[in-house]
Structure 1
């Protein structure tokens, strides 16, 4: 299994997000496309400039957005005086309200990455072996002939 997944890999779904301002703050945030099917109040991992950060999906009158990305999940829950790595990155790359960024869906509902349009990014592959322990055991056993009658039937 690969250690890194490129942003143009077939398993990575990319959407266009927009830098915006929301509410009375002067800080930029990301306006999320509805195609990502995220829920307000959920927490996601957001890879910003190659580093995994924590972000809360928030909402306003026009849709969903991410106002910040933080080193720790506790900081995403209560940003207070924590360093906002998303705002820091947006300023470093010269993105302002109205400018596009790419948002890569690495693991739906869980893990996303942001990058400049036209740039290629690499993401750490954090996927496990896939499937349940029972599924792994069955593959080692050569399959299952479970007929559904007895959950303890091993024959």
Structure 2
């Protein structure tokens, strides 16, 4: 049986919903960049689904999340796959400048997003050991 954790039992970092790019796409700017591994692809729970996102860095040096995709490869090449984070944010219909919560489920490995005032439950996924993670990155390559 998969162990589950709630948003009340994990560290929560705030993000700010912003626009980026010439087409004003949404992004989440992480208020504590040390909470996420910039440049890495991590798991991201959105509602009851789990996706992959690449933690990017914007021009100011802040960590940002710009998508949630079906695979690590799609997270690295976001123009090729459906962006589930964008769809989720659109469905929330929040104004830009609002806070979205980022829950640290497993540091440097798995995170979850939730709307202000909402609670969430996540599958407590352990990060693979370094050797297995390296093999997975090579295969995904």
For this structure pair, what is the TM-score category when the shorter chain's length is used for normalisation?
A: 0.7 to 0.9
What per-residue deviation string (whole Å, max 9, x for no partner) do you get for residues 40-67 of structure 1? 3111111011211100011112211011
Secondary structure, aligned partner of 2:79: coil
> Which residue does the alignment assign to 1:127?
126
The structure that has the greater radius of gyration is: 1
Give CA-to-partner distance per residue, 1:1-52, whole Å, 9 cap, x none: 862111101xx10111110112323211110122543343111111011211
Residue 2 to residue 55, structure 1, CA distance change in 2 (3 Å): closer
1:98 Cα deviation (Å)?
0.5
Distance 2:55 2:2 in 1: 29
Would you say how many aligned residue pairs link Structure 1 and Structure 2?
127
Contact 1:103 1:113 in 2 (8 A): yes
> Which is further off, 26-35 or 70-79?
26-35
Structure 2 residue 50 is the aligned partner of structure 1 residue 58: no
Question: Where does residue 4 of structure 1 map in the other structure?
Answer: 4
Secondary structure in structure 1 of the residue aligned to 2:87? helix
Query: Normalised by the size of structure 2, how large is the TM-score?
Result: 0.81
Higher strand share: 2
Q: Is the 8 A contact 1:59 1:65 kept in 2?
A: yes
- Measured after TM superposition, the shift of residue 96 of structure 1 is 3.2
The corresponding residue for 1:44 is 42
The answer for the alignment partner of 1:18 in structure 2 is 16
What is the TM-score of this pair, normalised by structure 1? 0.74
Across the aligned residues of Structure 1 and Structure 2, the Cα RMSD in angstroms comes to 2.0
Residue of structure 1 equivalent to 2:94: 95
Structure having the larger proportion of residues in helix: 2
CA distance in 1 between counterparts of 2:50 and 2:94 reads: 20
Which structure 2 residue ranges, 5 or more long, are not aligned?
128-141
